[in-house]
């Protein structure tokens, strides 16, 4: 495989667009306005973080051994699963307890971007995290 994170980015982008289309065309008449907004939030974060995974994949081309990038990518994927996934299920099934999982996904998103920032902040000759 050329790039694990490019592949994951593509799959997440594809599934994000599919979920968005499903929501816009298949759920508009089914979900309440409130649950439609929850669903839309899930799609928005899903798509943006699919692009974030693509960014990590591109950076990783230049730094293939960078451990921080790998951790950032995996945390971003976990964030999509926990954050967007819990919101999709919350909107579709109206299981309010799923809302407790969503912030955990948000924490993974924050950590993934923090790791990317730490990686970017390192000096070019730093081998500590690369």
Q: How far is CA 114 from CA 83, 95, 119, in A?
A: 17, 31, 9
pLDDT above 80 (res 128):
no
Per-residue pLDDT of 78-126, as tens digits, reads 999 999 999 999 999 988 898 899 999 999 999 999 999 999 999 776 5
pLDDT above 60 (res 129):
no
CA 106 to chain centre: 9
| Rounded Cα gap, residues 93 and 71, in angstroms | 32
Per-residue pLDDT of 50-91, as tens digits, reads 999 999 999 999 999 999 999 999 999 999 999 999 999 999
Q: Where does the pLDDT of residue 14 fall: very low under 50, low under 70, confident under 90, or very high at 90 and above?
A: very high
Structure letter (DSSP) for residue 35: H
- Count of C-beta atoms within a 10 Å radius of residue 61: 10
Report the SS3 class of residue 34. helix
Phi, psi of 120 (to 5 degrees): -65, -30
């Amino acid at each position: 495989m050329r790039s694990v994170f490019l592949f994951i980015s593509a799959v997440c982008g594809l599934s994000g667009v599919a979920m968005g289309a499903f929501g816009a065309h298949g759920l508009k008449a089914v979900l309440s306005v409130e649950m439609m907004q929850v669903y839309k939030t899930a799609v928005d974060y899903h798509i943006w973080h699919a692009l974030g995974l693509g960014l990590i994949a591109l950076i990783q081309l230049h730094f293939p051994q960078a451990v921080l990038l790998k951790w950032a990518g995996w945390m971003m994927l976990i964030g999509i699963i926990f954050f967007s996934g819990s919101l999709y299920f919350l909107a579709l099934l109206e299981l309010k307890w799923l809302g407790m999982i969503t912030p955990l996904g948000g924490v993974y998103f924050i950590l993934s971007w923090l790791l990317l920032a730490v990686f970017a902040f390192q000096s070019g000759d730093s081998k500590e995290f690369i």
